[in-house]
Chain A
Amino acid sequence: MLSKVFFLYFASVIVLTSSLAITRRNAMHGVLYMLLMFFHLAGLYLFLNAEFLAAVQIIIYAGAIMVLFLFVVMLLNLREDVQKSRFIRPWIIGFIISSGVMVIAIKAARSVEVVGTGRWGIKEIQSATHIGAIGQELYTHYLYPFELASLVLLVAIVGAIVLAKKRLK
């Protein structure tokens, strides 16, 4: 019962702050609402026994990505954009499309049935600790995607510097 109350609190705050984030006129307010949303999402991950991901969510999403957004919003210093209309003119079409997808997703989720048959039950994770379990999976079965992720990040670093530089010599 209590866990349902907590889930409903987290879910309602997440949906509310994300809808506020995309409708605010000022981009700064949107970024700050997103920050609030990420913290509640980390709380939701703690519910699902994913402590490592909750920490990563706060450190990387809230600490790095959103700060990058904040830097760019402050750097660009947008004043004239505040006067214009926020949404494109046929916004109702976007609303119809997205609510249609939402109805389909909710209908489809009714038929979801899963059984816990994997090898990482709550007991196994508890005995190996969550970070130990994640590390064991990451460095044995998923070593190749892990190396690829480092390559993706390297390309992103180089690309971001090249794109944002004033002019290349």
Chain B
Amino acid sequence: MVPLNWYIWLSGVLFCVGMFGFITRRNLIIMLLSVEIMFNAVNISLVAFSHYMEDLTGQILVFMIIAVAAAEAAIGLALVIALFRNKETITVDEFNEMRG
């Protein structure tokens, strides 16, 4: 039997991989991919807790997270297409109209 802690460690490591990608990459599509990695890291820990606590609430939450992730991917990629249509690039350094 695999201990619960191993799943939590895997989840933490995966979350930080996604976080690193989101902070440091320039490509907008890869940033969205990193968000998906973070979603999946959270899903691992929720499913693991649900299994070890013998409660299905965690799996219902994962179901909801997958629905929200699908919505997020659709909206995010539509935004990427709209940005590419205006600027001909998806490098985040180029989007500086608001002087942020």
Q: Is the interface of A mostly helix, strand, loop or mixed?
A: helix
Instruction: Check B25 against A22 for contact (C-beta < 8 Å).
Output: yes
Report A5 CB to chain B, min CB distance, Å.
Answer: 10
Contact status of A65 and B54, CB under 8 A, knowing A27-B30, A105-B16: no
Which of the residues A14, A61, A114, A134 comes within 8 Å of B10, measured between beta carbons?
Answer: A14
Are A68 and B19 also in contact (CB < 8 A) when A50-B51, A73-B29, A133-B56 are?
no
* In the complex, chain B residues whose CB is within 8 Å of the CB of A60: 66, 70
In B1-17, the 8 Å CB interface with A consists of: 1-2, 4-17
> A101-B19, A114-B53, A145-B60 given. 6 additional CB < 8 A pairs?
A37-B40, A48-B47, A84-B26, A98-B23, A119-B54, A149-B63
Contact residues of A with B, CB < 8 Å?
3-4, 7, 11, 14-15, 18-19, 21-23, 27, 30-31, 34, 37-38, 41, 44-45, 47-50, 52-53, 56-57, 60-61, 64-65, 68-69, 72-73, 75-76, 78, 80-81, 84-88, 91, 93-95, 97-99, 101-102, 105-106, 109-110, 112, 114-122, 133-134, 137-138, 141-142, 145, 149, 152-153, 155-157, 159-161, 163-164, 166
